[in-house]
Structures are given as C-alpha cells and as structure tokens.
Amino acid sequence: MAPSKTFEEFDFIIVGAGISGINCAYRIQTELPHARYVILEGRNEVGGTWSLFTYPGVRSDSAMYTLGFSWDPYPNGVPIADGRLIRHYIESVASKHHISDHLRLRHKVVNADWSSQSQSWSVVADHDGEQKSFTAGWLVMASGYYDYETPLQTTIPGLDNFKGKIIHPQFWPKDYDYENKKLALIGSGATAISVLPPLAQKAAQVTMIQRSPTYIVSQDNYAWAHKYLPQFLFNALQRWNYMTTPYLFVLFCDYFPNAARNLLKDVTSKQLPKWIEHDVHFKPRYNPWEQRLCADPDARFYKSLHRPNVKLITGTIDTVTDGAIRTKDGQTGDLETTDVDAIITATGLNMKLGGGIQLRVDGETISWSKRLIWNGSMIEGIPNMMFMFGYTNDAWTLGADDTAVLLTRLWRHMDQNSIRSTVPELPKEDRPADTVRMWQLSSTYSALAQDRLPVYGTTGPWRSRTQPPIDYLRARWGDYTSGLKFTT
C-alpha cells in the first residue's frame, strides 16, 4: 500500500517507546516546551525490551537507580528488578507525565528520508497494514541495538533432528509448561544466568551447557538505606553511587586484570558446590570486563547450582539426536549423552542498529558501517539525527540520557541562531588512521556485528563515551558544536 499523501508535521520524531524513547520525550517536553514531538512504536505497548522479553526470570542486569529515569526514579528499594515490573514502571511514568499523549502504538517505521532541499525528515510507518507519513526536522532513534524479530543464529550440530521443543528466550511461548521436564539450557550469558533459577525450581532436570565460562557477580538485592533516608536523598545518592562505582571497577579491571581475576575467583569459589571446580567451569578465557560481567541478585544462580536437578557442562555440543544432546567435555574430550525434552538456546542477540529502517539521505541509501560517531550520539554524514546510545560498561540509560540532554542543548542553539540543520563532518585529511570499535566487548554477538556498525575516532568529539561521571558533566556543560557543520 502506498504511503498516505498527507504528512503529519513535528519538530521531533522519536522511534521507539522503551526507556530511551520515553526519557528523550520527557527531556524534549520539559526543556523545549514549545517543540512538537511524536513517538512511533512498532509494538502494541510501551516498554521496548521489557515488552518483548517475557522468559522466566527476565530482569534488569543493571541497577534500577541508573537504568530507571533520574526525573522519576523506580519506586522500589531493590537494585535489580523483575522485567514485568520494569515494563509497568515505564508505562506508568509515560502516563503520569502525559508522554502517552504523544505515542502512536503499532506504528512500525519502515523508511526515513532526509531532504536537504526541505531540510527535514520524511518518515513512513506501517500501522496495521496501512502506511502513515510523518515529517520532522529531527529524527531520534531510540529503537535499541538488536533485532526484535530474529535472534542470533547459532549452528548447533544435529539440531534439526530434535523432536522436542526448541525455544529461544527472546520468543518464549506463553503456554509452555516446563514443570517436570528435562531441559537443556545452552549459553552462559546474562539470559542464561537469569533463566536458570526459575527453571530449576520446577523442571525435573536442567542441564546448562556452556562453551566457555562467564564472570558472574552476586550481590544482595536490597538496599538497607531505603528504609532510613528520605526518598529523594536515597535516589540521588544511589544514582551517583551506581554511576561511579561500576565505572571505577571497570578501571580497576583494565589496569589490574590479574588482581581482578583473583578477586572474582575468590568470591565465586566460595559460592560453588563441591562438585563444581572453579578453574574448569568458572575461569573465563578473557579478562574481567572484556565482556560484560553478569549480575546475580541474591546469588540466585549460584544457589541453583546446589540443587540436585541442576547439572553444568563446560564443553561443546557434539550432536543433537531426536531426544538427547551429546556433549564433548572441554577438559577430557569425553562424550556424554543427556536426555532432554526441550532445548533452550540462550545464545545471544542479533545486533541490528536502527531497527532495520531503510535510511536515505537525498536519495542515497545509508549504511552505518565504518562511519564515525560524534559525541556518542550522531553519525557522520547524517543530518539532524540522534541515536540514543547507552553504555556497555554501565546502565544503558545513563548514556541515553546524556544524549537526550545534548539534543535539547543543540536544538536550542540552532533555534536561537536560525539554523535548520547540522551534520557531523570531519575533513578527509583529519580522519584517524585507527578507529575504535563501537561495541568494545569481545562477546560473540558483538564480534559478529562489527563490520555493520559505525566506529569511534580517538580525539575530540569523535572519542567513545566510557566515563559516565565525566560524560554526564560534558553533556550538560561541555562543548557541543565542534565537529558539526551547520546550515541556515
């Protein structure tokens, strides 16, 4: 069906109604009260990740003090929150601040075209089979970084032979009852760590199969100060605490990797059952924070390993038969066959920047690959577009909020000086000989996507954002015009 000929006009089009999109909307309506904006969301409810993911045990992997909104903090005293409660929190905040009035649900953006002649974006969204058209001076991408429709494709030998249920946590079936079932859980990342505890409570047996171990840090999921401090003071202190402490720990891991390894080994070893050897099953091949550390609230994961119905295998999958998995031990090479009723493939996300939207600038299709990132928010050569990029080494929302604040400062500057568009631009002779990967982690899903992603430079506004406390100050009071070309 052809797009509607009538365009709805706005100053900002925000793509995505997850935490980043709702946060950006709030910054726009409070800092730029006369600006017109709309949020286009492809799903039938707000929440983004927290609407999509419904697998057992789904929860945040960052503390809600920094993952939540600074201007309307998460009301519970627990650092790590259940996914269902996070979605409800996002929805209630959007309603409370009248952000929902600007929301268009079931509007999946298909393409976006920038015109230098009109100095604006034209956006087409599919709404229940009908194409709707919008136009705005700015396009804000708050659509996340992974594919909502297709998980990471992993080759598992013989998987086609399996006659039982195969489930990827990203698309957990609502009606699946795993009580008294024999389950194989493949993976060792955040999803596997989250899903194991609830599976172990009901399943007859859960066999977790990991190719290589992950660093997992347990923490008490309760903040005692919540009882004794005024709410506003507690929220402010916790936000700064969780903004700075993870950052300092990342620095510690970078500068003292052996000490960090030994520290994590000591903490982990004390929580393992006697039958699990640390160096076999919990000694990663990489240094701490070369991949993201996994949080384990109240040591739920470690406690699950003590259950008699939980088994851990570190090695590779030799093959899958019609009702079993044969694994090869990573130390001895011995083969072991485990009967299973269902296989859960917690093998990672498929990175897809921009939600698969077809993007064009003056008719030319745009690829993200190898383009430089400006101030962790705009992409070289693409006018009036901001990505709500977050952190990989801290809560995503911290970085996304810095970007939203930067956007309002930049828009106000342009409005006061009658500037219609801006684009990140670096002369060819100044381009860095070496660039820095956008996703500076060695995880499989990240490594597979590097050729499709933009990159950072090494100086000025082209450097990566990796210092949350300092980035916070820069976004609010630092330079925001260097590296940009303005058009009146």
Residue-wise pLDDT tens digits, 222-231? 887 878 888 8
Confidence band for 352, pLDDT divided at 50, 70 and 90:
confident
Q: What is the pLDDT of residue 41?
A: 98
Q: What is the pLDDT of residue 339?
A: 97
Residue 195 dihedral angles phi and psi, to the nearest 5° = -85, -25
- Rounded CA-CA distance 99/26 in Å is 7
The answer to whether residues 19 and 397 touch, using CB atoms and an 8 Å cutoff, is yes
Q: What is the pLDDT of residue 452?
A: 84
Say if pTM beats, i.e. exceeds, 0.85: yes
Query: Matching CATH topology for 7-148+350-487 and 159-345?
Result: yes
Q: What is the pLDDT of residue 328?
A: 95
Q: What is the pLDDT of residue 417?
A: 97
Distance of CA 248 to CAs 241, 255, 277, 397, Å?
10, 11, 30, 18
Confidence band for 4, pLDDT divided at 50, 70 and 90:
low
Q: What is the pLDDT of residue 17?
A: 98
Q: Which CATH class is domain 7-148+350-487?
A: alpha beta
- Rounded CA-CA distance 388/371 in Å is 16
Segments of 143-254 assigned E as strands:
165-167, 182-186, 205-210, 216-219
Give pLDDT tens digits for 245-272: 999 999 999 999 999 999 999 999 999 9
Confidence band for 5, pLDDT divided at 50, 70 and 90:
low
Alpha carbon 413 to chain centroid, angstroms: 30
Q: Does the pLDDT value for residue 463 go beyond 60?
A: yes
Average pLDDT over residues 362-370: 92
Q: What is the pLDDT of residue 353?
A: 85
Residue 140 dihedral angles phi and psi, to the nearest 5° = -115, 120
Confidence band for 434, pLDDT divided at 50, 70 and 90:
confident
The answer to whether residues 418 and 488 touch, using CB atoms and an 8 Å cutoff, is yes
Q: Does the pLDDT value for residue 42 go beyond 70?
A: yes
Domain 159-345 falls in which CATH fold?
A: FAD/NAD(P)-binding domain (3.50.50)
Average pLDDT over residues 86-102: 98
Q: What H or E segment, with its residue span, contains residue 413?
A: helix 396-416
- The domain locations on the chain are 7-148+350-487, 159-345
Q: What is the mean pLDDT of the chain?
A: 93
